[in-house]
Structure 1
């Protein structure tokens, strides 16, 4: 095999080293560019995560206000409905005003609708993995399951309410006459409302069954709302601690 002259061999070695050096520099440049790109993506994801979490906190704080109201509403509803059942079962009616208020309160529908648009956007867009804290993510998923159960319960309660509470009340009462007493604008005397005004309603088996069903439903809602409240408060604390 023919050997290269010493000068040419030296130049070839230098070119080879130069080429290797160039390749190494290109590879280093690519690696740096990839790393910078990864840093940018990571920073962007963290910014997006922070925005999502901030919005989730705002949503949950709104829900907490509503949940507190509904827990109190349901507790009062249970007390009022139980009192009516006791009076239907023979307990003496000593206060017509309270009777009127309990009856009107039994006609009230108050339900919870979650402010979960931000979570649904995260979930439906496949961006739920932006939330880096697994505990927060798990609690949000558990909260969403409670929301779904709540929505199913609303549909069930709405049917029972209309069938067993609203229909008998519409049939046996002058609700327009009772409402001013309920909101405190007029007295039962002014409205000429007496115990006899409620006789036919309190004899209605449908109404009594409706009251019983509503006490069960309201007790179930209270427990569910308390769970939602607890999980919401925990999520808010975790997000604020994360910051």
Structure 2
């Protein structure tokens, strides 16, 4: 800076106003260029920090959604087994001339009603990003939209699962009456290998349920709700999940 100051002093001393003005303009331009270069370097560094942060988020989200996909695949399998078993039971209520054995009926009941349905995805990182406002750090707009809609979609899924749980309980409630027996289901089905209890000397048959209109109605509602859960909710959810994973993979840099 002393060098430039000496030049200005010489120009002023020699009364070279025009040269001095040109020099001043040039000096201003140099200062502006220097500022722009500094800003560019600073912006470049900030962009690298943001890019690194985004990549960390993307890889974390990829891990979460991969686990969620595995959970959803397993849940779809369980739900499908449930409604297939329910459909087989309904076939027996429709054609009473072909009655199942107690063991066959118990196995179908155990297959269809042993496990409730609830999707529990891994969303800890996504929730953290939403709550902290870090979702804006995801530069791909399509991916941001998918991630934002994911949470609201899960609320819809939870509502459907609650409806299914209600229909499931209506069927199970029929085994809490004196004329039917949950013990019989456990004794004849494979469940007896998992739960240890004394065998009853007085086995109550559940085959009378096949003649019950109330039982058939409850089974129909359970089957329809369970089938709808897969077709109208889980399958679209899987499509969204796969779309998210595809976008994540495209954005992640090796």
TM-score range for the pair, normalised by the shorter chain length? 0.7 to 0.9
2:71 aligns with 66
2:44 aligns with 39
1:210-221 pair list within 5 angstroms: 210-221=218-229
Q: Deviations over 1:164-200 (max 9, x none)?
A: 12321222543245335233629xxx76797x61045
1:158 aligns with 165
Q: Deviations over 1:209-242 (max 9, x none)?
A: 2221111121122122222223322322332233
Question: What is the TM-score when the length of structure 1 is the normalising length?
Answer: 0.80
Q: Deviations over 1:59-111 (max 9, x none)?
A: 11112211221222122111111122222334322333221022123333122
Distance in 2 (alpha carbons) for counterparts of 1:178 and 1:14: 104
1:50 aligns with 55
Distance in 1 (alpha carbons) for counterparts of 2:183 and 2:35: 78
Give 1:41 shift.
2.2
Give 1:112 shift.
1.0
Give 1:154 shift.
2.0
2:248 aligns with 239
2:119 aligns with 112
Give 1:143 shift.
3.7
The question of whether the paired residues in 2 share the 8 Å contact of 1:168 and 1:204 is answered with no
Q: Does 1:99 align with 2:82?
A: no
| Cα 1:7–1:43 shift into 2, 3 Å | closer
The question of whether the paired residues in 1 share the 8 Å contact of 2:58 and 2:248 is answered with yes
1:29 aligns with 34
Distance in 2 (alpha carbons) for counterparts of 1:63 and 1:152: 18
Give 1:22 shift.
4.0
Question: What is the TM-score when the length of structure 2 is the normalising length?
Answer: 0.77
Q: Does 1:135 align with 2:139?
A: no
RMSD, matched Cα? 2.9
Distance in 1 (alpha carbons) for counterparts of 2:200 and 2:142: 57
| Cα 1:123–1:206 shift into 2, 3 Å | farther
| Cα 1:7–1:26 shift into 2, 3 Å | closer
SS at match of 1:93: coil
Q: 2:83 aligns with which of 72, 78, 83?
A: 78
Distance in 1 (alpha carbons) for counterparts of 2:34 and 2:181: 83
Distance in 1 (alpha carbons) for counterparts of 2:149 and 2:201: 51
